[in-house]
Structure 1
Amino acid sequence: MLKGGLLDDIVIVPLLITLTIKLIPKPIIDDIKGRVDTQEKLGKKWYFALPIVLLYAYLLVVAIQYFRG
């Protein structure tokens, strides 16, 4: 039997996203798509992600040690 949270994730959220996108007027969507195509891409600065990756690695090590006993 599906629980409420799982039902939300599988059915309701995708339906609401689809409805929201359909309610945006077509000229606005076309304008935004045109701007995305013409703007230059931002450079990838992977070193900004380094603190987050290190935090996740630390939390993973702590969790493994905790559950091993």
Structure 2
Amino acid sequence: MAKYTLSEATEFYDMAKEAYKNALSNKSYSISDRSKENQKLESLKKEMDHWAGVVFNISSGHSGGPVVKRVIPYV
């Protein structure tokens, strides 16, 4: 998984959020017998949620990698 800085992840999140908001207002349109559907809302929402998770992980100190814990048994 690629590593991003907080500012990069926040920028990607903001872009995904803006695209989602734009798609909500311009989902599809028709002219005569022709119609056009813009971006798929489901994929944009998934992308926005992904970047929100990346921003959360970076800002809370999680690297996103596996967590290794060492345990010393009590005998």
More strand, by proportion:
2
**The structure with more radius of gyration:** 1
- Structure ranking higher in helix proportion: 1
Q: Same fold, TM exceeding 0.5?
A: no
TM-score (norm 1): 0.32
Q: RCO higher in 1 or 2 (8 Å CA, sep ≥ 6)?
A: 2
